[in-house]
Structure 1
Amino acid sequence: MLAEALIIVVGGDDLAYEVCAEILKTRGHEVALVWKHDDERADRRFTQMAERLAEQYGENFRLIHADATDGDALRQAGLKEKDNPNLGHRFFALVAVSPSDRLNLRIALAARDINDSVRVTIRQFNPLLGQKIQEGLRQNCTAISPAAHAAATYAAAAIDPACRYAMPFPTLETLAERRSRPQSSMNEGDEVGEMRTSGLFGFSERTAAEFGVVGLNVDQAERRINARIVSINGAYPYLCAGDSSASDSELIARKLKAEDHLLVFGAMRALKRSTAEFRERRPWRLSERLQGAFNDIATGIRRTEPILRAVTMVSLGLFVCFSIFFSIVLKLNPLVAVYYVVTTMTTVGYGDITPCANCTTGALSMPTVVALFVSMCAMLTGIFVFAVFTATITSTLNAAQIRRLRGLRQIHRSGHVIVCGSGNVGSLVIDYLRELGEEVVVIEKNPDTMLVELARDHKVDLLTGDVTNDETIAFSSPERAKALVGVTNSDTGNLEAALGARSRSPADSPLHVVLRVDDRDFGESIQRHFGIASFSTSELTAATIAGLARFESTRGRFQVPRPGGAGLATYQLAERLQGEENLPPPSPPDLAARGESVRWIPLFVWRESARGKGMALSIHNFRGEVEPGDRLLFMVPLDQFVVGAGKDSA
């Protein structure tokens, strides 16, 4: 039987393979993977990966071993003109996920030249450029940045260890709009269930005891944590089938038990409050702060220039000699002599004391002449010494400023988040954490101009150094940090930074660590042996790209372990703008043909007020709660679409 949709995937890395696998998990799709490696070894590995897919999914998967830049490769994959009488498939889509932004755009344009109605999803590392491309192609096109997509989960997992997946909401705004959004729009509202978005929403899976909602029913628990309870032990309290409610009234009314596993979705600002008790770190004591200040002063003295130390010692010696000399020659009290030397060397010269009382009349005695010459030497010495001191102090202040921006120093903070790496992923993680009100310490070997400006404005603390160096990690005070996020481009570098930081944290309360590990097998090994949570950008992005290949409204796809270890439950997140008709999410053709409605879980709507300000509102049903013009965020259990699922699948 001919599949309803043909999806052409262009790419030759793990991300392309995982995108194909995710698409093939759902019914009605045929996938053609187009790529050819120049390197023989890489091409052999790629072919073996493709053969595994062909063995598992049979005729629904084909490998087109051709150069993707060749215009005939897309036609060979099955893409046809819109008016071709032998069209065959009802739906065509192109997914370009090669490592080259330029190649992805080139392939997308070539596909549009063949069939201008083909749905296009392209990988773009620069999210702002991707947004421009998406706006330029106008319709049926989505550009996604793996870095920007993954950064939300890294930031959310740093403040909530139980976070499974996170995303900005609403995501129909551009990245530039999110960055320019005023801080006042990021604060929660006063009423329960209504909050001004922080830009970051996420899923958290914990027990009812950990959420602090034992003995409450679902409605009461949602009001307490200010978030939506999506599932309880894998069952959905609120569910819709089309525009009808299919909620479980008994589950909604039941009192929550301590051991109940809850999957909760809400603003990370609300969720992080429920996790605060797990992350308290001992603050700096006053004595420790004073000791730290003394150590900084001692370090500054050790780092002074040798010429300054020499000038200081000589000037002190001359000061003592001058004081003794004038005390004897001018017969002054020692304290008065010191006062006279100070006023002379600083060139203040009040005139109340002078070595020559009658210099304008009469001859000068030898002691007076000597006193005059010594006074002039004291003046010249003072000018020289204070000139050196002024220049040195200026230089020292400049050096301290540079060291604060591009050097190493001890960070005297507690409860902060350490971010290792500020590349494409790290810079966005920093933005999200700052929006959530977290104090951020960034460790980066080669900081860019924007990061330096943030440090200059005291918005982040910047340590310029190697994250794999234990001394660099020690400067960030990991023993008092809330979490560490390792998002450099090196898997081993991220792990080394994490282990170095954990070695300095208390054994009874190890530092919470979130790592970017692009090698999934390596990440699973880290999780098993070190208990450190890790995510790969391809792992977080592949499923989302798979959903975007078919549905433009897709905003994410994630998996949650079922209670009792009964496999994984997969969900797809979607966001749609409600038109004047205010229709519910449509059913796929195969469900509609059987007279079934898609089952979906309502989460939130984003509603614009008359004053032009938006607000996120939690919802439980479609009828009576969703209005025209709302941006509806919902999730769909994918069990009802998986290959081999029947009508009664859960």
Structure 2
Amino acid sequence: MVVELAEQYEVPVVAIVPSRDADHAPQIVKLLGDGGVVVSPTITEEALSAADAARARGIALVDGDDQGNIHTALRVQALNEDIRVVLRIYNQRLGGHIERLLKNCSVLSRSATAAPAFVNAALRRPNSVRVGDQAVSLEIEERPEREDFLCTIADRIDRQDLTRMRMLPDSPGPAAVWIGRTERQEVVEPGSRAVLRFVDEEPSPTFTRRSRVLWRLIDMIRYFTGVQLRLVLLGSVITVIVSFALIWALARPFAWAVYETLLDLAGSAVPDVYGQPSSAGVGGAWQRVAQVAVTLSGVPLMAVVTAILVENTASRRRAAPRQPSGGIRSHIVVIGLGNVGTRVATLIHDLGIPVVCIERDDNARGILAIQSLDIPVLTGEAPLEHHLRQARVHRSRAVLALTGDDAANLEACLEARAIAPDVRIVLRLFDDDFAAHLYRSFANAASRSVSYLAAPAFAAALMGREVLGTLSVHRHVVLVAEFVVEEGSDLVGRTLRDIDVPGEIRVIAVRSPAARDYLWRPDHGRHIGAGDRYVLLATRSGLGSHTSRVSSLRTTQC
């Protein structure tokens, strides 16, 4: 956030940190200098005064404490009623109420902003952002064939060296024609590229009714029984089935065999009398063996059924996390139920895709939210390998490691690959160098940074602009933002071509005040009028420079 404001928007920034030595404070001090950092364990009146909040243009409250952020926002607006406030709040419903309560306030959720990128990476699904009634998606093409794209977002994509990647290049094809830069076309090098396309709806996987019934049946048995009860139950049921087949095979009608088996199971068998002629009996010795087996199996079977009823009626078993089904497959394993992990698991569940969660902390707040959705959760301090095997990682389609610790996420990646070498891996990594090594070392793997995905949206909101969404190209981010041309702006009377900046900004749609729908692929010779809305793709630096131009920012603090 500090880097975004200081380098992309070029505005003076003061940061309030609990310590100069903890977390990322040393890098912040190096970037802002000693005068740009206020040290305070909590946000107090003295800390706000030291940061000169009374004269600041805006304040971003990005701590993980929702209640503390709301309290500070109220305190700041009491000091400066015109200050722009951006709050990080996990509870989006509460955030909506706070936005209506506070003046000039925007509430964002870091996890909600970043979660779709992780889900799309796990499903190898195009990233998408909705603009009005239309959705646009990013697709990475290894061997470009189709030319029905809106524009090129990135080219020269090389997983082994992502520094060669060009963002929003001037490239031939449909994009170059409609942006009016054909005279500056460049030859696109062979290889993969990222392009923008329309999507009617986001694809969602489907599963057969047979698969769903099987999962439900296995889940129900596992839910109502423990391991020991399942073993006794399985042995008894197998014995009864074999004995029933034997009785039926001894020239008995099917209905009569069922009748005798059920009576024997209940302990109501009528034994043959010693010395009675074999003709009086109907099955002989083998029937007697089968009846004895059924009767003896019925004793533990009835006890198990009674134990299940007592256990689930008198105990609090229903409050325990549900265990993953033994028959689950084509699912996604989510490791870490912090804010991001909980949000990602919820999105996957909403898509109708089976998901299994792993969380070592039994008291993690995300566990309750996941339990309410009836999603299986594995908890406790057992080795990660044990949890991964219980989660049936060898049958899964992807593993997402979403803890806040880069090293722990890498460990999860290595453990998952040791069990299932071909499984798709998505890691949450903060460090860019770490991520670069990951791409060079692992195939079928991806990484995303929550901070890198969320910071542009928070910074843009602080500067008074709304980012519609982010599109991730490996570790790079392109933002989709909408601007309104205000009366008196220096853009009035200019053309859309004047907004474009090669490598940084590209206008993809425009809408006049009288129009209901956006005009896609607009003529970039079109003149801009007051009240026009235009949607652009921009890099982080491009959005910062364009926002500065539109807002005509003065040297005020954030």
TM range (shorter): 0.5 to 0.7
Q: Among residues 511, 524, 541, which one is paired with 2:454 in the alignment?
A: 541
| Other-structure match for 1:112 | 77
Pairwise mapping of residues 526-565 of structure 1 onto structure 2 (< 5 A)? 526-527=438-439, 529-530=441-442, 532-555=445-468
Displacement after TM superposition at 1:330 (Å): 9.7
Aligned to 1:335: 283
For 2:554, the equivalent position in structure 1 comes to none
| 1:325-362 Cα distance to aligned partner (Å, 9 max, x none) | 3672897224289999999x99xxxxxxxxxxxxxxxx
- Matched residues in 2 for 1:630 and 1:480: separation? 51
> RMSD of the TM alignment (CA)?
5.8
- State which of 534, 537, 544 in structure 2 corresponds to 1:635: 537
Residue 430 (1) aligns with residue 337 (2): no
**What is the identity, as a one-letter code, of the residue corresponding to 1:70?**
T
Deviation at 1:119, TM superposition (A): 0.9
The separation in 2 between residues aligned to 1:636 and 1:428, in whole angstroms, is 26
TM-score, length of structure 2 as denominator length: 0.65
The alpha carbon displacement at 1:596 in A equals 6.2
2:373 counterpart residue number:
454
1:97 alignment partner AA: V
Give the SS at the match of 2:12.
strand
1:191-590 to 2 correspondence within 5 Å?
203-207=138-142, 209=143, 212-213=145-146, 216=147, 221-222=148-149, 229-230=152-153, 234=167, 235-236=169-170, 246-249=179-182, 259=191, 261-264=193-196, 267=199, 303-304=231-232, 323-325=271-273, 328=276, 332-335=280-283, 388=303, 390-391=305-306, 406-414=322-330, 416-444=331-359, 446=362, 448-455=367-374, 468-506=383-421, 510-518=422-430, 523=435, 526-527=438-439, 529-530=441-442, 532-555=445-468, 571-575=478-482
| Cα distance in 1, alignment partners of residues 87 and 487 from structure 2 | 28
Aligned-partner Cα distance in 2 for 1:255–1:584: 40
8 A contact 2:13–2:36 mirrored in 1: yes
Structure 2 residue runs without a partner (length 5+): 156-165, 244-262, 550-558
**Counterpart Cα distance in 2 of 1:34 and 1:483:** 39
| Paired amino acid for 2:66 | D
**Secondary structure of the corresponding residue to residue 276 of structure 2:** helix
CA change 1:103–1:322 in 2 (3 A) is closer
The residue aligned with 1:21 is 3
Deviation for aligned residue 1:134: 1.7
Decide whether aligned partners of structure 1 residues 438 and 251 sit closer, same or farther in structure 2, where only a CA change above 3 A counts: farther
Q: Does structure 2 conserve the Cα–Cα contact (< 8 Å) formed by 1:420 and 1:484?
A: yes
8 Å contact kept, 1:134–1:142: yes
> Are the counterparts in 2 of residues 32 and 64 from structure 1 also a CA contact under 8 Å?
yes
CA distance in 1, matches of 2:500, 2:49: 34
> Which whole-Å CA distance do the structure 2 matches of 1:494 and 1:634 have between them?
34
Match of 2:110 in 1: 146
- In the alignment, is the contact (CA less than 8 A) between 2:511 and 2:534 conserved in 1? yes
8 Å CA contact 1:465–1:472 kept in 2: the answer is no
Deviation at 1:550, TM superposition (A): 1.0
SS of structure 1 residue aligned to 2:232: coil
1:76 is aligned, of 47, 50, 53, to 50
- Look up the match of 2:552: none
Q: Distance in 1 between matches of 2:44 and 2:30?
A: 25
**2:99: which partner in 1?**
134
- Structure 2 letter corresponding to 1:406: R
Taking a change above 3 Å as real, the CA distance of residues 597 and 305 of structure 1, as seen in their structure-2 partners, is closer
Residues 434, 570 of structure 1: alpha-carbon distance in 2 compared, 3 angstrom cutoff: closer
Q: Which amino acid aligns with 1:550?
A: M
Given that 2:117 and 2:472 are in contact with CA atoms closer than 8 Å, whether structure 1 keeps it comes out as no
- In the alignment, is the contact (CA less than 8 A) between 2:138 and 2:196 conserved in 1? yes
Compare CA radii of gyration and give the structure with the larger one: 1
- After superposition, residues 589-628 of structure 1 pair within 5 angstroms as 597=499, 599=501, 600-603=505-508, 619-620=521-522
Q: Name the counterpart of 1:97.
A: 62
Summarize the Cα distance change of 1:480–1:632 in structure 2 as closer, same or farther, 3 Å threshold: farther
User: Take 1:623 and 1:523, find their aligned partners in 2: how far apart are those partners?
Assistant: 41
C-alpha displacement at 1:49, in angstroms?
2.6
Which residue is equivalent to 1:31? 13
Q: Which residue of 2 aligns with 1:169?
A: 130
- Provide the aligned length of Structure 1 versus Structure 2: 480
Contact preservation (8 Å) 1:444, 1:465: yes
1:42 is aligned to 22
Q: CA deviation at 1:499?
A: 1.8
Question: CA distance change for structure 1 residues 466 and 64 in 2, over 3 Å: closer, same or farther?
Answer: closer
Structure 1 residue aligned with 2:38: 64
Ranked by relative contact order (alpha carbons within 8 Å, sequence separation 6 or more), the top structure is 2
What is the match of residue 179 of structure 1?
none
Q: For 2:63, what is the secondary structure of its paired residue? A: coil
Q: What is the Cα deviation at residue 553 of structure 1?
A: 1.3
- Give the whole-Å Cα distance in 1 for the aligned partners of 2:454 and 2:46: 28
Deviations 1:587-628 (A, max 9, x none): 799xx9xx9656543446899xxxxxx999965558999999
Cα distance in 1, alignment partners of residues 188 and 92 from structure 2: 42
Shift in Å at residue 541 of structure 1?
Answer: 2.0
3-state SS of the aligned residue for 2:271? Answer: helix
Aligned to 2:247: none
Query: Partners of 1:625 and 1:332 in 2: how far apart?
Result: 105
- State the 1:516 CA deviation: 1.9
How far the C-alpha of 1:120 sits from its partner, in A, is 1.0
Distance across 1 between alignment mates of 2:50 and 2:105: 22
Are the counterparts in 1 of residues 357 and 376 from structure 2 also a CA contact under 8 Å? yes
Change (3 A) 1:493 1:266: farther
Alpha-carbon contact 1:417-1:482 (below 8 Å) kept = yes
Once structures 1 and 2 are overlaid, which stretch shifts more, 254-263 or 67-76?
Answer: 254-263
Q: Show CA shifts across 1:16-44 (max 9, x none).
A: xxx1111111355111223343xx8539x
CA distance in 2, matches of 1:303, 1:627: 75
Mapped partners of 1:317, 1:92: distance in 2 = 80
CA deviation after TM superposition for structure 1 residue 638, in Å: 5.2
Closer, same or farther in 2 for the Cα pair 1:323/1:493, shift >3 Å?
farther
Distance 1:386-1:94 versus aligned 2 partners, 3 A rule:
closer
